[in-house]
Structure 1
Amino acid sequence: MRTTIFYILSISFLLGSLPTAQANNKYWLQQRWHFKDAVGALEKEDLKAFKRLSAQIEDYPIAHYLRYLYLESHLETEKAETLLAFLEQYKDSPFVQPLREAWLSQLAKKRDWKTFIAAYTPQEDTILRCYYLQAHLHTQGHIKGQLDEAKDLWVVGKSQPDECDSAFKYLYDNEIITNQLRWERIRLVMQNRKLGLARFIAKGLSKTDQKLAKRWRLMYTNPARELKKFKHPDSPIAREIVLHGLKRLAYKNVVRAYNYWQDYQKRYAFTEAAKMEMFQHIILRGVRQKHPKAAQWLEEVDPNFVDETIKQAMLQFALAQQDWQAVIKLISSLSVAEQNELKWQYWLARALEKTGHTDDAEQQFQDLSQNRHYYGFLAADRLGKPYSFQPESLTVSKYIKNQLVENNAAVIRARELYIVGLTAFAREEWQAVLPTLTTEELEAAAVLAHEWGWHDKAIATIFKAGHYNDLKIRFPLPFYDTVLTQAQAQGLEFAYVYAIIRQESAFQTDARSTAGALGLMQLMPRTAKQMARQRKMKLKNTGESLLVPDINVLLGTTYLREMLNKFGGHYPLAAAAYNAGPKRAKRWAKKYGCLSPDIWVELIPFDQTRDYVQRVLSYTSVFEYQMVGHPQVKPMLLDVIQTKGCTR
């Protein structure tokens, strides 16, 4: 069972955080406790008690979730007709997909292919999709009606699970895999660097095409050698092989890649999109390698090829060279709308300041400093003035709030699911109702979620409503004692820890990233185990433990302190390391150390990490403001990176 008693027992805490009028409502209290007791009975397989308790809350808005929990744990014994009827009756409920997935997996293991087909709806899970094809092969002997599905599963850039083999054999045996499909898959496989799989797929090509596929693999392993002698006639495949080699070569020798690119453009009919992508790749590699030729290439770039990525590269190159005239020239070439963006306003002011136009720079900084933003705070720091936080509490109608919690069934379900600990389903119910709400209702929903302590949904909802100035909702201070205790124990800035949590999870205690990071501070299990050993802690179940706020913050602050120690107490570097890893942060520190810290942050090559560091720094100031209650907060935690050879 996905939801365990551990989470549902949190009800007593959550109820204490509700508004008094709701917490004292006898009906809701009874329904919630009966729900909790029913789940407890189900956990113990006390079905008699479960049925009795379930009967007592038949009118509870989430009573059908009890039925779901029962069916999920009794898939082997429940009749197919019962399950099909339940899935149809609640087809719009969040639990339908996980219940169907679990049932389909069980039916496949039992080889009950007829029922599998009856229960099947289009799935994203690869194994279930392949089981569906198996089901048709077993019941009909063919997959003529599912060929598109089978081909979609085959044309991917990786090996597929064994469950797909029978369907793929059918495709091979019936000569449905054409040369075009093979090349499509080889393209995807080469992008994923799966050379062995590419070799296997190429075996079905003609002898001539097999040789061309081999050249592609050789282009991957030794692009410089292959580009020098590649003379295949122009064709779409030949162009892709050349582009693949040029991109590979640019990582090691950007000048040779550029020269080859100039030559190959004369021999092959590349599309405009391909030209743009290739030129951008070479320019970006040149900028990141600080190659002297990069300035020339930036000058030569076709205006039609200049997008946000190239503009950022041009800015970074000029800043790395301290070429302030180039910064001014770049900004003057932008559209009026772009010039009004805070980033470009700030760097124009910095360039004006550096080129002696101090009055113009000061006025630009003055205007910019009125913004509650990373660049606004930087501008205020240049002027030595307090930050402008511009708080504005959201005022919502009590009538609209009451209408939502009394008459909107989806909002009520989301609230109750959140309170009893079924937070994943609560989020899905909440997300489903948001598009149906007016702006006023969205604002009221954000306030309600905040009052319930559901901070990640409050933050997301107030953003959707377009109200950005209620700092209590956007930058709350939950888990205060835990964060304070652990920050003090590790000698960390209290507001900095909050900023990391806000950026990592937006206070979603059960947050899970696609990479496997967990909890408030998004710790990877391996990192958490290392930190636990340092703190002489034993984690019985790392995954579940990291969803407990006290444990997550304890281990997260331990890791944050380790990053600060590794980087000499430099907060931006520690944030960069927390996001992108210490090896990358060390490399960036070495490459751009000694530069002004605002320039160093702008030179972070990863857009996501640069944005992360900027947000953490500015959020730190906002959280400090939230705690002290006045704008006289410390400047952002920006210091020069002291590396070998610094003269200032």
Structure 2
Amino acid sequence: MVPVGGYAPVPAPGQAPPSASSGLQPLPSAAASAAVDAQREQDNLFLQLREASRQNDADRAAGLAARLPNYAIPSYVDYYRLKPRLRDASNEEVLDFLKRYEGSAIADRLRNDWLLELGRRRDWAQFDRELPRFVKNDDYQLKCYALLSRAVKGQNVADEARVLLDNPPNYGDACAALVAQLAQSGQFTTKDLLAQLRLAGEMHATGPSRRTALLLGASDTRAAQAVDVPALAMARGVGSTPAERQIYLVALGRMARTSMKLATVALNKNASKLSAEELATGWANIAYAASLTLAPDAYDDWQRAAGAPLSWQQLEWKTRIALRRGDWKMVRSTIEAMEKPQREQTGWTYWLARAYVALDRKDDAQTLLRRIADQNSFYGQLAMEELGQQIATPPSAAPPTPAELAQAASNPGFKRALKFFSLRLRFEGTREWNWALNNMTERQLLASAEYARQNQILDRMVSTSERTRTEFDYTQRFPAPHDDILQPTAQSLGLDQAWVYGLIRQESRFVTDAQSGVGAAGLMQVMPSTGKWVAEKIGLADYGHGMLNDIRTNIVLGTNYLNMVLANADGSQVLATAAYNAGPARARSWRGLLNTPMEGAIFVETIPFDETRTYVRNVMSNATNYAALFDRRPQSLKARLGTISPRSGGIGLP
């Protein structure tokens, strides 16, 4: 492989770097060694500069940047020099940076940073000039500042704000200021503020709870207690004002997370002091808490909550509990009560279609299913099967030509990405790679994905190839590396190879040295304690924690553990996948709540952990695609999901 633009392709761990082109004469060893040492020193200075900038140490950043006048990525040297001084930098200095690097990923990153600073200063004139130039437009705080800028000018933004303001833990200064401005200008009514108070309590956001209580003329201390010390807040009583009663109901919902019995007794005791809507809200708070543990009373609690204003999370869990009960009328009515953006999400579109089928509205169901059936995702695949189709691999596009690959290799963004990957700066490398994909044609995307494959950056290959809509290469989307290790290992254990690859794709996207925040390592993201336990069980001699990133060891440990959780789940891939992510004890407890067999898709939809629910969906969808690719015939996701039966037993696992 020939290095491009001075950046060497990133070797896989354990592999030697690719050799230089035969057209280049090797340097004398002393000169080569000196060049390597010099580059290593420059890279080390750059990493120090990055860290100084992240710590807002402007003086140290300036000193380090001065020692990197000819570094390979000058835009980032300038960015890391400027970022710690952004609060004090003049508009002219920032605009000069943006002009020099206009159109680049790092310019858009600085524009994001600067817009946040302009919003903090309330410099709406400069903010409004710069916001339309922000390409990513994915910053929650900036969306709030954008509405705030319009609101202070007298524009009515209440409807847009109601949709946006649904995540109090992420509010920060921008969204808090927006809520305050809307309240003070009368655009937000008491009803809106009470809804914000309920949502903040539901999502354990103490700061927003305090601020909203003050806007309502209530005690911010009591609001904080309702979230953090609900027993104390409940002991103070229901209160006399609507805000005080909502604070009490927040405390009731928080208490239900730890003691459903105490919360239920308290609500029944104080029912006469609450309006009909407030009483229903209390039951909704209890029903939500019960739903998160799949408690048997959750369905009845939701019935008692009729007439309560529900948050988006409560609507989702009311729907899930209705699915578990098989109450398709409740499924339909609850999904139809969602706001349009939520209702039109792929999952709720699918379940609404299923409700229409059950309620003999087949034409309406077909319309919804066709809307999502072209999406190669968990719900898109299920929709295909509802329409009588199965999941197959589409015809493969013509491979990229040498000219198309050469164009990809010359892309400056990819060159920067390769440099970052060589420095193990995956966040920056991914940002540069993804930015370079903007406005690419289908053919350019396929060539870029192939270029990622050539450089052994398989996670970028997968994500890049997934962007195509008319031309496909499923060997890019669903790669099967290390088959010489995985295939015989899976075969010896009797594991479905498609499922194992589907799990690896979700766990690490084939980044061999992937490391999670909790310490899981390698392709199969094996936890150190699990690796040690499995190594002892299978008699792996001389095993040490440092071996977890070794590809062979990681696959051997991961597949053996997967085989154990599969046996413990009576062969259910759904249960075993959930156990692999959330732990066998949790998967057993969820299964233990079943009294009768449950459709696999409904079981997956009602997994209480958001992360695990998404994980299982993706793994099972991946596995179906891998099976179609490996077997060269259509597959059924529904058959793979199967039916989840009540617990029968199982071996003990960590």
For 1:465-544, list aligned pairs within 5 A: 469-538=472-541, 541-542=544-545, 544=546
Q: Are 2:594 and 1:619 aligned?
A: no
- 2-side partners of 1:366 and 1:246: how far apart? 39
1:53 aligned residue = 32
2:65 and 2:77 in contact (8 A); partners too: no
1:250 and 1:256 in contact (8 A); partners too: no
Q: Are 2:35 and 1:64 aligned?
A: no
- 2-side partners of 1:257 and 1:565: how far apart? 44
- 1-side partners of 2:635 and 2:11: how far apart? 42
Q: Are 2:606 and 1:603 aligned?
A: yes
2:592 aligned residue = 590
Instruction: Give the 3 Å change call, closer, same or farther, for CA 516–361 of structure 1 in structure 2.
Output: same
- 1-side partners of 2:602 and 2:631: how far apart? 29
Q: Are 2:619 and 1:638 aligned?
A: no
AA of the residue aligned to 1:25: S
2:173 aligned residue = none
- 2-side partners of 1:391 and 1:632: how far apart? 15
- Unaligned stretches of 5+ in structure 2? 1-9, 49-59, 81-168, 170-199, 207-219, 649-654
1:330 aligned residue = 334
Q: 1:579 aligns with which of 568, 578, 581?
A: 581
AA of the residue aligned to 1:629: R
Q: Deviations over 1:428-468 (max 9, x none)?
A: 34533542554246554322102322111222334567789
- 1-side partners of 2:539 and 2:624: how far apart? 33
1:393 and 1:472 in contact (8 A); partners too: no
Q: Deviations over 1:10-35 (max 9, x none)?
A: 575664xxxxxxx772257958xx9x
Q: Deviations over 1:126-165 (max 9, x none)?
A: xxxxxxxxxxxxxxxxxxxxxxxxxxxxxxx9xxxxxxxx
1:405 and 1:411 in contact (8 A); partners too: yes
Instruction: Give the 3 Å change call, closer, same or farther, for CA 553–216 of structure 1 in structure 2.
Output: same
1:617 and 1:636 in contact (8 A); partners too: no
Q: Are 2:409 and 1:405 aligned?
A: yes
1:545 aligned residue = 547
AA of the residue aligned to 2:593: K
1:507 and 1:520 in contact (8 A); partners too: yes
The alpha carbon displacement at 1:502 in A equals 0.5
Q: Say which SS state the counterpart of residue 386 (structure 1) adopts.
A: coil
- 1-side partners of 2:588 and 2:646: how far apart? 10
1:554 aligned residue = 556
Q: Deviations over 1:43-80 (max 9, x none)?
A: xxxxxx5xx3244579xxxx63454359999xxxxx99
AA of the residue aligned to 2:67: F
- 1-side partners of 2:300 and 2:351: how far apart? 24
For 1:201-240, list aligned pairs within 5 A: 223=231, 227-230=234-237
- 2-side partners of 1:94 and 1:560: how far apart? 42
1:296 aligned residue = 303
- 2-side partners of 1:366 and 1:248: how far apart? 43
2:534 and 2:560 in contact (8 A); partners too: yes
Q: Say which SS state the counterpart of residue 643 (structure 2) adopts.
A: coil
1:227 and 1:245 in contact (8 A); partners too: yes
Instruction: Give the 3 Å change call, closer, same or farther, for CA 226–540 of structure 1 in structure 2.
Output: same
1:246 and 1:261 in contact (8 A); partners too: no
2:13 and 2:513 in contact (8 A); partners too: no
AA of the residue aligned to 1:480: D
Instruction: Give the 3 Å change call, closer, same or farther, for CA 260–390 of structure 1 in structure 2.
Output: farther
Q: Are 2:264 and 1:255 aligned?
A: yes
Q: Deviations over 1:206-239 (max 9, x none)?
A: xxxxxx989988996782x762444899899998
Q: Say which SS state the counterpart of residue 619 (structure 1) adopts.
A: helix
Q: Deviations over 1:94-125 (max 9, x none)?
A: 89999xxxxxxxxxxxxxxxxxxxxxxxxxxx
Q: 1:25 aligns with which of 21, 29, 32?
A: 21
Report how many aligned residue pairs link the two structures. 491
For 1:152-163, list aligned pairs within 5 A: none
2:67 aligned residue = 86
Q: 1:284 aligns with which of 249, 264, 288?
A: 288
AA of the residue aligned to 1:86: R
TM-score (norm 2): 0.61
2:435 aligned residue = 435
AA of the residue aligned to 2:515: R
- 1-side partners of 2:24 and 2:270: how far apart? 69
- 2-side partners of 1:501 and 1:611: how far apart? 15
The alpha carbon displacement at 1:328 in A equals 2.9
1:446 aligned residue = 449
For 1:178-217, list aligned pairs within 5 A: none
AA of the residue aligned to 1:583: A
The alpha carbon displacement at 1:378 in A equals 2.9
1:44 aligned residue = none
The alpha carbon displacement at 1:516 in A equals 1.5
2:316 aligned residue = 312
2:12 and 2:456 in contact (8 A); partners too: no
The alpha carbon displacement at 1:643 in A equals 1.7
Identity of aligned residues (%): 25
Instruction: Give the 3 Å change call, closer, same or farther, for CA 391–604 of structure 1 in structure 2.
Output: farther
- 2-side partners of 1:335 and 1:296: how far apart? 21
Instruction: Give the 3 Å change call, closer, same or farther, for CA 505–262 of structure 1 in structure 2.
Output: farther
Q: Say which SS state the counterpart of residue 424 (structure 1) adopts.
A: coil
1:456 aligned residue = 459
- 1-side partners of 2:245 and 2:311: how far apart? 26
2:392 and 2:635 in contact (8 A); partners too: no
Instruction: Give the 3 Å change call, closer, same or farther, for CA 499–263 of structure 1 in structure 2.
Output: farther
1:393 aligned residue = 397
- 1-side partners of 2:527 and 2:592: how far apart? 26
Q: Say which SS state the counterpart of residue 540 (structure 2) adopts.
A: coil
Q: Say which SS state the counterpart of residue 315 (structure 2) adopts.
A: helix
Instruction: Give the 3 Å change call, closer, same or farther, for CA 516–64 of structure 1 in structure 2.
Output: same
1:331 and 1:339 in contact (8 A); partners too: yes
The alpha carbon displacement at 1:314 in A equals 2.4
1:372 aligned residue = 376
Q: Say which SS state the counterpart of residue 587 (structure 1) adopts.
A: helix
- 1-side partners of 2:340 and 2:62: how far apart? 64
AA of the residue aligned to 2:32: L
2:381 and 2:391 in contact (8 A); partners too: yes
AA of the residue aligned to 1:227: M
- 2-side partners of 1:214 and 1:362: how far apart? 50
